[in-house]
Structure 1
Amino acid sequence: MSSNILPDETLFSDFRRQCLSTDNWVNKYDKNGMQVWVEVPSKKIQNAPKVHKIKCKMSIKDVSAATMYDVLHDGQYRKKWDTTMSDSFDIARLSDNADVGYYAWICPKPIKKRDVVTLRSWQVTDDEYIIVNFSVKHPKYPPRNDHVRAVSILTGYLIKPTGPNSCTFIYLSQADPKGALPKWVVNTASQSLAPRVMKSVLKAGQNYNEWKEQNSPDQKPWLYPEQSVLPTMDPAELSIQRADSLEDVDESFKTNAQDSEDSS
């Protein structure tokens, strides 16, 4: 296998298209310059995934697109603002615009912690910033006993400047938290959670420049690849992590969930 796992222009342009599309998307939330949509797959698609694709759009009036992009990349800063994160680290560099990393987060009790290993890739042009990620299998980071390994089918951000200190910020995600959570619970929770997450990202953006001045202001390896201290890794050592290849944990109420999720 070659390094075909790395995203190419097709993936970036398809991600952009989904971010800007309104076909088959239903608006679920629209307040204070923030909107949340859920995709309703076309009836023609056989075996469409049960986990909804969710999209959030925020009009930001007081933070530049470049700053919001830095916030999403800056792992040190994330420890300051991401209150649900329990662990996060970059594992290796795959190319100048791609890496592989680990992220774990706390879920409301009694739900177990979740974690993911994802390949992340990014693209910057004159008028937009894109970051995408999807789950991969890494030989040294198999699923852990104390976490449920979740799956990012495709998650990412599209940020477009609307002025020197303003931008449009779009987050799109299709992810399966796995485990025994009924899919309708996942879909409902993600719709209510999304605006909260977006608000915390916005606040992080508003406070970033002041924080960065005190914390290695010149270190931005996502903009300057030569600054990266990560070990390099051959992308061919990774494979895509598909949701159906992970064992579901504690399936005791799966039968009830099936009926409900079909009606959601």
Structure 2
Amino acid sequence: MSSKTLVQVGKVHIPEDADFRHFKSICEDNEGWKLEVNKNQTMVWTKANELSSFKMVKVRSVFDDLDAATLYDVLHDPEFRKTWDKAMLESGELCAINPNNDIGYYAIRTPGPMKNRDFVTQRSWLDCGFEKIIFNHSVNHSGRPMKKGVIRGTSYLTGYYIVKLDVNKTQLTYVSQSDPKGNLPAWAVNKLTHMVAPKVIQRIYKAAKTYSSWKAKNRPGFKPWLHPEQMMELPRFNPDDIVSSEKLAASSDSLEEDEGTCKEGDLKDEDY
């Protein structure tokens, strides 16, 4: 069995053990990565890759007072995400492929005059108890055509690796091998690495501290990622809904060359 992932942009693929091992190796192996940030138990690395001019980003944090199971629930729960992800414009699950794979939509707000982005991805997950993996890659579902003025980004392989280090000590690694497309200025890419990535991890941590009390009041028994029979609420996957990978490219309407006119001084830290 190959150690390389078989995941390809535009194609629905049911991951095998080798695919999850491949993602885990990306999260654990720092060879060839450049350390950009090392502060407050959070480290950020970048790495050039052959798929995009946009560098891969890896963030790793250790939480001393958070259990792995809660963090796993937080990263899965789409309703809870609406309470803490302030950059999210819209999200939703389009269909269930099987008990460990679905297809969903996510739209993100970006500081103006940069254009908003959206993604359509197949998400895959595996819970091995002391370690848990969630990753996604872009597909193109007919239920979510491209929108004028919104740039369709591409996720080549993006996700989370959660490791239980002790009873309430958890390590979270986030890896993004994606391309937001468009004409992002260089300073925006730098901000994404040094400021935005660590901020997102901290927001996830703060949200996780409130999850148990929130979930107790919001369908406490509903966790499809743990109870596969609950995924029956979603539409079933239809292969005919997956369109050709060429259509993943952003439309000419959304690729207006105006993002580079945005100056770093025009935005405040809270805009990120």
Relative to the length of structure 1, the TM-score reads: 0.86
Q: SS in structure 2 opposite 1:122?
A: strand
CA-CA distance at 1:74 after TM superposition: 0.4
User: Is 2:113 aligned against 1:110?
Assistant: yes
Counterparts of 2:51 and 2:117, CA distance in 1: 24
| Maintained 8 Å contact 1:55/1:172 | yes
Task: Determine which of 142, 145, 158 is the counterpart of 1:142.
Answer: 145
CA distance in 1, matches of 2:246, 2:162: 27
Amino acid across the alignment from 2:118: D
2:10 is the alignment partner of 1:9: no
Residue 59 of structure 1 corresponds to 62
Residues 1:241 and 1:79: Cα distance change in structure 2 (over 3 Å): farther
Range with greater deviation from structure 2 (136-145 or 78-87): 136-145
Q: Tell me whether 114-123 or 138-147 shows the greater mean CA deviation.
A: 138-147
Alignment CA distance shift 1:86-1:187 (3 Å):
same
Given the alignment, which residue of 20, 23, 26 partners 2:31?
A: 23
The SS at the match of 2:216 is helix
Q: How big is each residue's C-alpha offset from its partner over 1:70-127, in whole Å with a ceiling of 9 and x where there is no partner?
A: 0000001000000100111111000110000011111001112111111000011132
Q: CA deviation at 1:143?
A: 0.8
Q: Structure 1 regions of 5+ residues with no counterpart?
A: 42-46, 255-264
Where 1:214 maps in the other structure, the secondary structure is: coil
Distance 1:68 1:253 in 2: 35
Q: Where in structure 1 do 4 or more consecutive aligned residues deviate above 4 Å?
A: 239-244
Q: CA deviation at 1:142?
A: 1.5
Q: Work out whether residues 96 and 236 of structure 2, in 8 Å CA contact, stay in contact via their aligned partners in 1.
A: yes
Q: Count the aligned residue pairs.
A: 246
Distance 1:186 1:241 in 2: 27
SS at match of 1:219: coil
Give 5+ residue unaligned stretches, structure 2.
1-10, 261-272
Any idea what the Cα deviations from partners look like across 1:42-72, whole Å, max 9, x if unmatched? xxxxx55211000000001111011000000
Q: Could you tell me how far 1:185 is from its partner in structure 2?
A: 4.0
Is 1:138–1:239's contact at 8 Å kept on the other side of the alignment? yes
Counterparts of 1:63-142 in structure 2 under 5 Å?
Answer: 63-142=66-145
Matched with 2:268 is none
Do 2:67 and 2:164's aligned partners in 1 also have CA atoms closer than 8 Å? yes
Change (3 A) 1:12 1:126: same
Aligned equivalent of 1:197? 200
Partner AA of 1:250 in structure 2: E
Q: Contact between 2:59 and 2:173, CA under 8 Å: does it hold in 1?
A: yes
1:231 and 2:235 are equivalent in the alignment: yes
